[in-house]
């Protein structure tokens, strides 16, 4: 577990620093090209067509007043500082207030990086939050407090980056910025009601007496152990690690850094080497998600490779749509699966694979001794 954590965190830190450096370089270029307003921008970019000019005009006409934004944020921070410590007594109101004070800076950096790379590093911030708060509190309940703080950070960063993406969509489609933000607020309100109901449905359909998310559950949550282990390390649990664990973690750290550096340099130099270098986070994830995840990824990669070889143009145009359909289909099937489990509907046939040897003999003997069911 800790080796995988080392790989994921190291890869996340490396890519996070890469995104930050790219963001700083882009901001520097933007400052050098600064102008004094929309009219100067239009003069400086005479190639803008009518559609682009209209988009800029509509976007700037529907700005949200600063007083509403700041007032809403302060109100949300106040409510969270009161409600969250009431729900989780391991975290105090000043912890939540500290999070909300530094959140605008973190959210801006994450959203700006997401706009440049189309990749949010919110979970990397969340892992850092667990470390920081577990080390800050250092008492019974520090792990829970770190996980709560991590949840606040991830939710805030996800909403900020997603809202910015929706605003960009509104800009492209000449939709009011206010309408997009109101839609986000309505979605959050609906989600705060629907999500607990869905969780209760999963909990009710799980095995009796088994905690949902555990390894014995119908719905295991492998990443729960990852985040908890990060909290354990944060409060000084390194001394309790197995022998040679730190040595192996250091080796995983070096391999991850070497792989990421080679990939980054090969991309910058135009070498073909980066096409054969694996993403280290993807390498570590199957150890948590189980064998289904790498088998699915391998099958999808093989199909995409063959599709590209047969018709590269069609693959480039339609592969994203096909991938989105597969992801949505698998996600939507969770609902009928839960309903079948809730009503105790058994499948008409069950298949299981056993290794050869004595175990097969035992199973055959058991099956032959079963009574043949009679029709009624």
In the prediction, which pLDDT does 193 show? 92
Average of per-residue pLDDT across 292-301: 78
Predicted confidence band of residue 375 (pLDDT cuts 50, 70, 90): very low
Predicted confidence band of residue 348 (pLDDT cuts 50, 70, 90): confident
Cβ neighbours of 319 (radius 10 Å): 15
Residue 333 has pLDDT above 50, yes or no: yes
Residue 290 has pLDDT above 70, yes or no: no
In the prediction, which pLDDT does 58 show? 78
In the prediction, which pLDDT does 47 show? 67
Residue 126 has pLDDT above 50, yes or no: yes
Residue 183 has pLDDT above 60, yes or no: yes
Average of per-residue pLDDT across 221-236: 78
123 vs 17, 150, 274, 326, CA distance in Å?
A: 14, 8, 25, 24
Residue 359 has pLDDT above 80, yes or no: no
77 vs 29, 73, 149, 189, 227, CA distance in Å?
A: 34, 6, 13, 16, 25
Q: Highest-confidence range of 54-58, 82-86, 203-207, 249-253, by mean pLDDT?
A: 82-86
In the prediction, which pLDDT does 239 show? 66
Residue 6 has pLDDT above 50, yes or no: yes
Q: What is the mean pLDDT of the chain?
A: 79
Half-sphere exposure of 267 (CA within 13 A, CB side): 10
Residue 373 has pLDDT above 60, yes or no: no
pLDDT tens-digit readout, 94-107: 999 999 998 887 78
Residue 350 has pLDDT above 90, yes or no: no
User: In this structure, are residues 223 and 4 in contact, taking their beta carbons and an 8 Å threshold?
Assistant: no
Concatenate the DSSP letters of all residues of 129-167 into one string: HHHHHHHHH-STTHHHHHHHHHHHHHHHHHHHHHHHHHH
47 vs 37, 44, 50, 54, CA distance in Å?
A: 17, 9, 10, 14
């Amino acid at each position: 577990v800790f080796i995988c954590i080392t790989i994921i965190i190291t890869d996340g830190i490396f890519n996070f620093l890469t995104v930050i450096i790219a963001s700083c370089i882009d901001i520097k270029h933007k400052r050098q090209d600064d102008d004094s307003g929309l009219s100067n921008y239009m003069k400086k970019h005479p190639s803008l067509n009518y559609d682009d000019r209209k988009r800029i005009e509509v976007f700037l006409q529907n700005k949200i007043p600063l007083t509403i934004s700041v007032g809403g944020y302060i109100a949300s921070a106040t409510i969270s500082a009161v409600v969250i410590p009431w729900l989780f007594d391991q975290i105090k109101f000043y912890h939540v207030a500290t999070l909300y004070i530094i959140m605008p800076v973190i959210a801006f950096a994450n959203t700006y990086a997401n706009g440049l790379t189309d990749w949010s590093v919110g979970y990397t911030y969340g892992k850092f939050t667990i470390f920081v708060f577990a080390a800050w509190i250092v008492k019974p309940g520090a792990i829970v407090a770190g996980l709560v703080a991590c949840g606040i950070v991830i939710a805030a960063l996800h909403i900020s980056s997603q809202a910015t993406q929706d605003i960009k969509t509104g800009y492209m489609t000449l939709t009011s910025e206010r309408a997009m933000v109101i839609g986000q607020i309505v979605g959050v309100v609906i989600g705060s009601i629907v999500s607990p109901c869905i969780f209760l449905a999963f909990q009710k359909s799980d095995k009796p007496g088994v905690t949902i998310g555990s390894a014995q559950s119908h719905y295991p949550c492998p990443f729960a152990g990852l985040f908890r282990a990060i909290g354990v390390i944060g409060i000084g649990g390194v001394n309790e690690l197995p022998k040679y664990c730190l040595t192996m973690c250091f080796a995983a750290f070096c391999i991850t850094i070497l792989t990421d550096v080679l990939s980054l340099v090969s991309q910058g130099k135009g070498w073909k080497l980066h096409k054969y270098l694996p993403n280290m986070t993807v390498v570590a994830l199957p150890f948590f998600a189980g064998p289904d995840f790498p088998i699915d990824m391998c099958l999808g990669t093989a199909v995409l490779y063959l599709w590209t070889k047969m018709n590269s143009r069609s693959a480039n145009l339609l592969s994203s749509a096909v991938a989105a359909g597969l992801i949505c289909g698998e996600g939507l099937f969770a609902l009928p699966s839960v309903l079948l489990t809730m009503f105790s509907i058994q499948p008409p046939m069950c298949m299981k694979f056993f290794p050869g040897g004595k175990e097969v003999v035992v199973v055959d003997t058991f099956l032959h001794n079963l009574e043949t069911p009679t029709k009624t």
